[in-house]
A = this chain, B = another copy of it.
Amino acid sequence: MNETKLYKAEILKDFCTNVLIGAGVKGEDADIIAESLICAELRGVKSHGIVRLSTYIERLETGILSLNAHMEFERKGGAMALLDADNGFGQVAGHKAMNTAVNIARTHGVGLVGVRNSNHFGIASYYSMLALKSDMIGIVLTHSSPAMAPYGTITPLLGTNPLSLAVPAKRGRPIVLDMSMSVVARGKIRYAALKGEEIPEGWGLNSNGYPTTDPNQVLKGGSLVPIGGVKGSGLALMVDILCGVLTNSCLTGEVKNITDMSGPSKTGHMFCAVNISSFMDANAFKSNIDQTINIIKSLDAIGNNSVYLPGEIEYELEEKRKREGIPVECKVVKSLNGLANRYGLPAL
């Protein structure tokens, strides 16, 4: 049912780039968008990978996402900047914003760059990891469309509002946290519904705000459970305030889903780079992170399980997939080839 075929990362990236160029996207922008999609595929975050390409193209073709966005810094001063993405690609805005944060942090120790009027930017860790090569800590927040009810209520208003932090190590792999504020992604609940299975208690609430193990009750008017209940709800609200309200992009609850074609998504993001060498010798810091990794890896595990640092499983998968290729489901290949056909490009 879920038959897959393996593709080299470069092949998939070139394919995506060419489709985007075919749809009218500038070459350098297409390259960034394709890179973020392949980054997600390599790291096993399929939901933010090439399966999204057709949705991006649909947004472009319907004009809901601007093809010729003029992204300009609306404000810039000291250690901050605010980029108006002009309803263009979230990936292009995010790439520009994170690199700007890194450049600011070179001279100011820290750089904080907000983005307004943007769109879905894909996998958050793609941006936080951009800071690593400059020996900086990257921090990324984005809000997303309503999926979680504020604690104590029954109405989905807050997005799952992901957060990513990336920290460089010396010999070890960087520590990369990339998480949403919900216990599980909506995709897992959709998958259970599709298979006719129950979900564990603690994943979702029904339309009255009470726990349910029926995935359909969650999907129809219910909501996702935030991590730690009131805590995750508070975190998601703060991410929304920093990304949506502070960037003056939209009010809480107004950001639209990537699949909602009724108008601009009004997505906001926040990017922060912290220059390690402003605080201490960057090499000593990275050695200390190596030690932190070693300390954690040498702790006794529960049962016979392996102990993983945040991002470690993703790095291992990335290395494997760079060697062996990325598995793509045949129905996704078919959909991608439909796009290729539309722009007169060779099939995958």
Instruction: State the A residues within 8 Å of B (CB).
Output: 75, 77-80, 82, 107-110, 112, 114, 137, 149-155, 157, 165, 167, 175, 177, 179, 183, 208-210, 227-228, 230-232, 234-235, 237-238, 240-242, 245-248, 251-253, 274-276, 278-280, 284-285, 288-289, 291-292, 295-296, 299-303, 305-310
Find chain B residues with CB under 8 A from A137 CB: 241-242, 246
CA distance A275 to B152 in the complex (A): 31
Cβ–Cβ contact B114 & A112, under 8 A: no
Using known A-B contacts A80-B109, A154-B302, determine if residue A278 contacts B75 with beta carbons closer than 8 Å: yes
Known: A78-B107, A137-B242. 16 other contacts (CB 8 A): A77-B109, A79-B109, A80-B108, A80-B109, A80-B279, A82-B279, A150-B307, A152-B306, A152-B308, A154-B299, A175-B238, A179-B228, A210-B302, A228-B232, A246-B280, A253-B295
Inter-chain contacts of A284 with B (CB < 8 A): 248
For A108, what are the chain B residues with a Cβ–Cβ distance below 8 Å? 77-80, 108
Q: B179 touching A234 by the CB < 8 A rule?
A: yes
> Are B79 and A279 closer than 8 Å at their CB atoms?
no
Residues of B near A157 (CB, < 8 A) are 295-296, 299
Cα of A80 to Cα of B110 in the assembled complex, Å: 7
Cβ contacts under 8 Å, A227 to chain B: 227-228, 231-232
The residue of chain B having its C-beta at the shortest distance from the C-beta of A226 within the complex is B228
The main secondary structure of chain A at its interface with chain B is: mixed
Point out the residue from B175, B183, B241 that lies within 8 Å of A289, measured CB to CB.
B241
16 A–B contacts from the bound complex (CB under 8 Å): A77-B109, A78-B108, A80-B110, A114-B279, A150-B296, A152-B301, A152-B305, A179-B235, A227-B231, A228-B228, A230-B310, A237-B292, A245-B288, A246-B285, A247-B280, A248-B280
Closest to A167 in B: B241
Question: Taking CB as reference atom, which chain B residue is nearest A291?
Answer: B251
Inside 8 A of A110's CB, which chain B residues have their CB? 78-80, 110, 112
Q: How far is the CB of A229 from chain B (nearest CB, A)?
A: 8
A300 CB to closest chain B CB, in angstroms? 5
Query: Is the Cβ of A296 less than 8 Å from the Cβ of B112?
Result: no
Task: List B contacts of A209 (CB < 8 A).
Answer: 301-303
Q: Enumerate the 9 nearest inter-chain pairs by beta-carbon distance, A residue then B residue, closest first.
A: A227-B228, A80-B109, A78-B108, A209-B302, A79-B79, A153-B299, A234-B310, A177-B234, A110-B112
Is the pair B77, A235 in contact by a Cβ cutoff of 8 Å?
no
Expressed in whole angstroms, the Cα–Cα distance for A241 and B305 within the complex equals 25
Chain B hits for A151, CB < 8 A: 308
Q: Which residues of B contact A167 (CB under 8 A)?
A: 238, 241
Would you call B153 and A276 a contact (CB within 8 A)? no
Chain B residues contacting A289 (CB-CB under 8 Å) are: 241, 245
Residue of B nearest to A228 (CB): B227
Contact of A75 among B152, B208, B231, B279 (CB under 8 A): B279
Chain B residue at smallest Cβ distance from A183: B228
Measured CA separation A306–B232 after assembly (Å): 18
Nearest residue (CB) in B for A280 is B248
The residue in chain B whose Cβ has the minimal distance to the Cβ of A300 is B154
Q: Are A252 and B150 interface neighbours, CB within 8 A?
A: no
Residue among A75, A155, A183, A299 having the largest count of chain B Cβ atoms under 10 Å: A299
